[in-house]
A = this chain, B = another copy of it.
């Protein structure tokens, strides 16, 4: 038996989410987000940035004449849309969506060259220049997204058309890249194809795809620096000319196995890490996995926002340094948190440690959900923890921080990424390893799984994120001996577990954050899990300068924030006494129905201060003020205003 052994995912077709909180999102993705994004890709959203992504494929396919428009990696947007559509089709039939997807697949196939090459930017705009600017021009990144979409569509529909397209593409790429004579000894500027090739390997059984993925990982960070040689070969020209010679930016400063701190472009790093875990497992490479653990540890213990956001600086959309987590100049790209979820889920499949699931959940409920408006039609690229709208307009340090979500972006990586993640949410709830079924997320619905060769159904009900009440009912035709492993979230007080009403002493069955319940399960056995959800006052490590003297509230998986709409402007003037009661109240009318946290806090008396800029001897007075926190994910769904996650605390 292999030492490194990933738990398996439950296929989406075996998952049916029926949840008081998430069903809304699933419907939104199916009925609003994915259709809306199709309109966006076809340039039919009034007032939003035109995408031209489908049009580029039409031109490349020879259907129409025209010029290429958009980013050179625009192809990845339809690919991510197709992947999201595939997940929706796997969950439930939708002939109209399938027709659109099939048409898109036909279009993509027509844009493919004889030799397998497929990229509309180089086909339409820069013919003859394939593979001349791997650092910036993202051909392999686009290929990776198309491969992910193809594998998902194949799983969803059984149709091979797009899978065949990407196999030809991957075979062509395999012929071009490598250490052989005449091959390009290079790698992708933006990691993505690594994890995609492992998916293709798993879907087809063709080991060359796995080896190609491993090759890309092994080559990265070697000397001499490939992207510098490539740049010299181009005559020192570039597309953006930013970061071209910055090896950290694309994680090429060291061989990947030697990297132990989260550096450079955040999305690239987490996509790379996801691929590293996959390759480590498939090739039994403990050294490679150890690098993943090191990178994970640095990222989540020194370089992550409490919202699960990563990447503290706009320049290079990148990590900066340990404990440098400014709330206002932050980047925290939506895609980076999605990639963090990919990375976390893969680590979790290798080692069932609830820390991975905790962070997956943190990123999902806060940054990813916050990345999309409640109406499903507006998106954040950057997810700040503190916003002063006027400064966003007038101080360029904050130009990248938008106080309102946008309809679409010139660089539209985030919206379809949210769509594909949420469409595949069913895959994040359970994993199975041998005869253990792990529950990572508490999301209601039904999952089918085979245990000891026999099908069972697990029906989950959950009141999260508003209450910590969860039940899991096992439906089995015959008694079946296996283990149910339940995650105990880090935000939970002391949980209570009952099985068929009888108390279960969890203490002796707890390992790395999971309660392992081993028994012979009978039909209709019910586990009740009570996860106490008090309001938690989080403080940050005192090495984090931005949060010194401040507190952030969290309840269950939800991080909370103050908004100007509820609390007035100048949120910095609010002080939360450390001993004050934090009351949870339901507000069914507010923001689609949320629980708010209210507290008798204090606010600086501006009038008592007067108007001077600096005054000596003037005491700062506080007046009582009731303040209201809302869940962070729901911010910026009302009028434009200030927002702050971290609030000053008075001891």
Contacts and interface: CB of A to CB of B under 8 A. Distances in A.
A528 to B, nearest CB: 25
A542 B604 contact: yes
B320 A540 contact: no
Contacts of A611: 301, 541
The 4 A-B residue pairs with the shortest CB-CB distance in the complex, in nearest-first order: A536-B616, A315-B396, A320-B395, A321-B394
A254 interface: no
A9 to B, nearest CB: 28
Given A321-B390, A395-B324, A606 B543 contact: yes
Nearest to A390: B321
Given A549-B648, A611-B301, A320 B539 contact: no
A650 B650 CA distance: 9
Contacts of A109: none
18 contacts: A306-B614, A315-B396, A320-B394, A321-B391, A324-B388, A324-B395, A536-B617, A539-B614, A539-B618, A539-B620, A540-B613, A540-B614, A541-B613, A542-B573, A544-B613, A545-B572, A548-B573, A650-B651
A549 B542 CA distance: 16
Contacts of A312: 395
A641 B491 CA distance: 38
Interface residues of A, number: 55
Contacts of A306: 614
A281 B292 CA distance: 70
Given A300-B613, A324-B394, A616-B537, A542 B570 contact: yes
Interface in A525-574: 536-545, 548-549, 552, 554, 570, 572-573
Given A613-B301, A651-B650, A542 B394 contact: no
Nearest to A303: B613
A304 interface: yes
A313 interface: yes
A95 interface: no
Given A540-B614, A544-B613, A548-B573, 13 more contacts: A312-B395, A320-B394, A321-B395, A329-B397, A388-B545, A536-B617, A537-B617, A538-B615, A541-B614, A541-B615, A542-B570, A542-B609, A548-B648
A548 B536 contact: no
B542 A313 contact: no
A540 B606 CA distance: 11
Nearest to A573: B542
Contacts of A391: 320-321, 324
Of residues A388, A572, A613, which shows the largest number of chain B Cβ atoms within 10 Å of its Cβ?
A: A613
